[in-house]
Amino acid sequence: MNVFDILGPVMIGPSSSHTAGAARIGGVARALLGAPAVRAEILLHGSFAKTYRGHGTDKALIAGIMGMAPDDARIRRAPELARENGLRVSIAAGEIAGAHPNTARVTLTDAKGRSVTVVGSSVGGGSILVTEVNGMDVSFTGQHTTLIVLHRDTPGTIAEVTEVLAAEGVNICNFRLSRRCRGGEAVMTIEIDGAFGGDVNERIACLPNIYSSTMLPPV
């Protein structure tokens, strides 16, 4: 146990689950899009859907999408700032099957029409668990440097990616693979100890059968 576990995160708002966690979910979606969003579609589930106005969950999600940290004083003005910066936001309440009570599905679109959809849950104390990216199952917390590698499901692809990491002395602390179908689109979720340079991520992105590789710093 560390001091964060005892005291909780530094944040703006009344609830670490509804504010700090929500901002981190928005931040993960922003990082995966890899460009400023011009459109954000947010579906809130469970407790998020019932209490988001009072707890500021909507403001925190928008703030994270815009790159603000959970302790940023501008969170209270996030919807206004979004409008000023050309970010259109729609928020709806709904059901996400089997999801944690504090869950949001965030779909972001950039100016070129590229989009990403992330499902993330705020699991307490400001901690999050991301469970879905673009319809495929993942599992990462955002507490470690994380690689999200979209690729074609082919023999040897996992080995090629892990060989690049091993050559740089990178230690994997969590690994998960999900695929749509045999030989189809798949996603590796790789959490690592420490960090590494962007050139390593670029080398992975250039490997055969890799569609994209995104390095997420801890959020």
Q: Which of 90, 111, 134 is the last residue of a domain?
A: 134
| Rounded-to-integer distance, Cα 17 and Cα 68, Å | 16
The alpha helices in the chain, defined as continuous H runs, are 3-7, 21-33, 47-55, 57-65, 78-84, 157-167, 198-205
Q: Which of 101, 134, 167 is the last residue of a domain?
A: 134
Residues 78 and 119 in one domain: yes
Beta-strand relationship, 136-140 and 145-152: unpaired
Domain membership flag for residue 16: yes
Residues 95 and 202 in one domain: no
**Residue type at position 102:** N
For residue 40, the SS3 value is strand
Residues 212 and 175 in one domain: yes
Domain that holds residue 183: 145-216
Beta-strand relationship, 37-46 and 88-93: parallel
Q: Which of the four pLDDT bands, split at 50, 70 and 90, describes residue 17?
A: low
Mean pLDDT is lowest, of 82-86, 110-114, 118-122, 142-146, for 142-146
pLDDT beyond 80 at 6 = no
Beta-strand relationship, 127-133 and 115-124: antiparallel
Residues 87 and 56 in one domain: yes
Domain membership flag for residue 139: no
**Residue type at position 170:** V
Q: Which DSSP state fits 111?
A: T
Residues 123 and 153 in one domain: no
Domain membership flag for residue 128: yes
On the CB side of 155, CA atoms within 13 Å amount to 0
Q: Which of the four pLDDT bands, split at 50, 70 and 90, describes residue 82?
A: very high
Residues 19 and 125 in one domain: yes
Q: Which of 103, 134, 165 is the last residue of a domain?
A: 134
Q: Any idea what the CATH number is for the domain that residue 180 is in?
A: 3.30.70.260
Residues 170 and 129 in one domain: no
Torsion of Cα atoms, 94 then 100 then 104 then 105, to 10°: -80
Torsion of Cα atoms, 177 then 180 then 181 then 186, to 10°: -40
Domain membership flag for residue 25: yes
pLDDT beyond 70 at 140 = yes
Residues 30 and 107 in one domain: yes
Q: What pTM was estimated for this model as a whole?
A: 0.84
Q: Which of the four pLDDT bands, split at 50, 70 and 90, describes residue 75?
A: very high
What number of H helices and E strands is found in the chain? 7, 10
Q: Any idea what the CATH number is for the domain that residue 48 is in?
A: 3.30.1330.90
Number of domains observed in the structure of the chain: 2
